[in-house]
Amino acid sequence: MAKLKIKFVCTECGTESPKWMGKCPGCGAWNTMVEEAEPVVKANVGRSSELTRTKEKAQSIIHIESGKEPRIPTGNGELNRVLGGGLVPGSLLLVGGDPGIGKSTLLLQTSNTLAGQGLTVLYVSGEESVRQTKLRADRLGALSERLFVLCETNLDLVEQSIEEVKPDFLVIDSIQTVYRSDVPSAPGSVAQVRECTAQFMRIAKQGGVATVLVGHVTKEGAIAGPRLLEHMVDCVLYFEGERHHSYRLLRAVKNRFGSTNEIGIFDMSEDGLREVSNPSELFLTERPLGVSGSTVVASMEGTRPVMVELQALVAPTHFPSPRRMSSGLDHHRISLVIAVLEKRMGMFFQNQDAYVNVAGGIKLDEPAADLAAAVSLASSFRDLATKPDDVVFGEVGLTGEVRAVSRAETRVKEALKLGFKRVILPEASLKGWQPPAGIRLVPVKSVAEALKAALE
């Protein structure tokens, strides 16, 4: 019997090495090299002749017929928005998120909806028994004759069930629990995850089965396993949310069939996840009025405008190095805004702690929130209340200028729909569209003009 060869593989990037190293030479991560046994590769007799028979010929791109991919509506508007209109047959999706965030709940509800539309659904659970899945289905009301449940982790047995059921929609919960018997590694290892994902990709592409894989996440929030896993699938979705809040955010970071800027917002209740059609009202329900440091910013999440409250607190510090903390915003952008306020506006923050928070736990990653952060910080620093009917957005430059942002018209229309009376926005964003009636626009060129309009 031939001796198994041992190699060491990085769990972050998949780099292979013949010996163990503390630091991965590929991605530079520490303590990520794990021991793996190389799979035994059988000799392929007659492989060249088989390739000759099945090889496709290259075609000119002009002669290739183009058309829209068919979509399967999931019955959930928020999920359809993130996916780009619905599920694509034969696509392979990867869903990640913290434990208990609601991944299994969302997929079980989606499976029940698709089964109600006449599709055959197979839900494979490797972490829960069939009875546990049935208890969740009873609570969610996900009971359908065409929804099949299987508790199995052996890939060969899962393939047999797929051949018997012939599903239109397949859920694997989760990919880290499935293993191949011919791969000499433990379930969840780099080799097992890679080989099992490759097999499910072949099943999805050859059979036209829309397949969803549930993936575990690391402490940093990234999907566990090699980065190759995200490159193999067609769509990567992250399910986010705070444990202290009832709503959840579904965000796409990769999508070959749609945009990666869209988010779906759900509200977690006793009977499952409910889609939130108007998230702006949800984020502004507890907003205090007539206090300093509170500003409403108009943010864009894909094609959807979202109104969010941005709060700031500036307080004296007794330490030589003041603290700069932010939640929901990049702390580097907050440091930049504070530096602009010190240099251009003469505000002395060197003996002040500064805390910035996006109320509700949502994360804003666009520079349009810079001007709202500046207004909130100046409001708290001067202890002057902002006007409750104002909406602020704009990018702040290092010289104190306010730069234009995209989709200004969409942001203004959303502010008008929610009852706001005035919008402070960059002057350059007024080009190319006609402001709607019923709301006042205050165009500004610099941070000084914005603070004068918002606080005086």
Q: Which positions make up the binding site for ATP? A: 97-104
Cα 164 from chain centroid (whole Å): 34
Residue 377 contacts residue 314 (beta carbons within 8 Å): yes
Residue 173 contacts residue 124 (beta carbons within 8 Å): yes
In the chain, count H helices and then E strands: 12, 21
**Cis, peptide link before residue 174, omega less than 30° from 0:** yes
Strand ranges (E), 359-439: 390-392, 395-396, 402-403, 422-426
**Residue with the two structure tokens 């001796």:** 3
Residue 263 contacts residue 82 (beta carbons within 8 Å): yes
Residue 275 contacts residue 102 (beta carbons within 8 Å): no
What does the alpha-carbon distance between residue 91 and residue 87 come to, in Å, rounded to a whole number?
A: 8
Q: Coil, helix or strand for 330? A: coil
Residue list for the binding site: 97-104
Q: How many CA atoms lie within 13 A of 275 on its CB side?
A: 14
Phi first, then psi: give them for residue 260, nearest 5 degrees. -100, 10
Q: How many CA atoms lie within 13 A of 311 on its CB side?
A: 16
What does the alpha-carbon distance between residue 140 and residue 46 come to, in Å, rounded to a whole number?
A: 52
Contact residues for 229 (Cβ-Cβ < 8 A; gap 6+): 94, 175, 193, 194, 197, 215, 223
**Residue 340 tokens, joined:** 């602009």
Distances (CA, A) of 45 to 41, 195, 244: 12, 22, 59
Q: Is the dihedral of CA 444, 447, 449, 450 positive or negative?
A: positive
> Using CA atoms in the order 340, 342, 343, 345, what is the torsion angle rounded to 10 degrees?
90
Burial of residue 47, with CB atoms counted within 10 A of its CB: 0-12 exposed, 13-18 middle, 19 or more buried: exposed
